[in-house]
Amino acid sequence: MNRATRAAGAAFIGTTIEWYDFYVYATAAALIFDDLFFPNASSPAVALMASFATYAVGFFARPLGGIVFGHFGDRVGRKSALVVTLLMMGAATFAVGVLPTYASIGALAPALLVLLRFIQGLAVGGEWGGAVLMAVEHAPEGRKTFYGGFAQLGNPAGALLATGAFSLITLFGGDALMSWGWRVPFIVSAVLVLVGLLIRLRVEESPVFARTEKSAMPIKAVFRTSWRSVLLGIGTLPVAIGGYYILTTFLLAYATGSSVGESEQLILNGLSFAAFVELVATLGIAYLGDKFGSRKVAIWFLVATAVLAVPQFAVLGSHSTFLIFGMLGLMRLATSGTYGPMAAILSEMFPPQVRYTGISLAYQGAGAIFGGLSPLVATALVAGAGGAAWPAVALLVGMCALSVVCLAVAPRHRDPVPTTV
């Protein structure tokens, strides 16, 4: 196995574990955390919004994690930063799994939940940029989108594991889920982290980092020379990040709520199927990115996402497994085309001496704005519209338009020396 393949495989395993931990929390926030940690809210809608607010804390912590670990990764090394982020995420996720609920310790429970979610956010804020760079900077010329796709594979793989875990737990019934079952997916994370750590420690440092002159203060250099790239990078990602959470976390809560009435089991299984579609499609889309241009491919799929937005929400409430699974799968195929090429797209927007910091700021800034707020905003807008889904559809279409504009004008940077494999 050559260095490029080994780095891509390690990026996939590491990001799978990190995203599993992150999505386990997102799934629990949509299904049960409102009852377990906010039982005294004035209404079910307020309790759900409070649950989504704790979920959003992780996104607001992600830019800080990007700054801290971006500095570390640009100064000390990509590999060292990734080991620390994996350990942080695993410890925080395990702690959520053993956390007492509001019924046991009162208001201290949601406070501790927020703290642990903040630590998760710090870890994921530093993880994505480093994993992407280890894959892309080891890749041969002309294959960077494909190899970067392995880091992107961790997202659907982690989502598939997370929703699949909760799907299995729901087989024991609602009482089991609320009493003990919700803890199992969090506690299992400890085993996954140990496996990921063993794999990550065997990967060599990025060859691009090894030959790059180091910046004394990467964050200052980014804002001095690449601030436009940061802003445009944020603008390319509203669908790849925020649209994803509208179509998973918000959709799960909306579809299983009283106004629509789909079963939790059906939607969880549908989301698991959609994650499988993305897992299968991502590398193929990344291959298309190398063949036709990563930006062009992303724009094609942004248009497809906008077109599918109305039928996606229209089938909810049909109680048809075929229609719901079919639309969730088609929509995930479209959104995976907006996400899969982003590893290469963002990497080429920054020079190597500030690349970890730059792509982390762009990605995690978008995560804070679009990922953290999208389910909360969509919930508030839909509630204001009396339960109608059209505000969520309009929000998603607007995100697509912004992404297309920013992709069209984003800068490019090419490393002067080809990567050695």
Angle at the Cα of 202 from the Cα atoms of 198 and 203, rounded to 5 degrees: 125
* 40 exposure class (CB count in 10 Å sphere: 0-12, 13-18, 19+): exposed
- Digit-by-digit pLDDT tens for the chain (421 residues) are 678 888 888 888 888 888 888 788 878 887 788 888 888 766 777 777 777 777 678 778 888 998 899 888 888 888 888 889 989 988 999 999 999 988 889 889 888 988 998 998 899 888 888 888 888 888 888 888 998 888 888 888 888 888 788 888 888 877 888 889 899 999 988 888 888 888 888 888 878 787 777 778 888 988 898 899 999 999 999 999 899 889 988 898 889 887 888 888 898 889 889 988 988 999 999 999 999 999 999 999 999 999 999 999 999 989 899 999 999 999 999 999 999 899 889 988 998 888 889 999 998 889 888 877 888 899 889 988 888 889 999 999 999 999 999 999 998 877 655 444 4
From the number of C-beta atoms within 10 Å of its C-beta (0-12, 13-18, 19+), residue 341 rates as: buried
CB contact set of 284 (below 8 Å; sequence gap of 6+): none
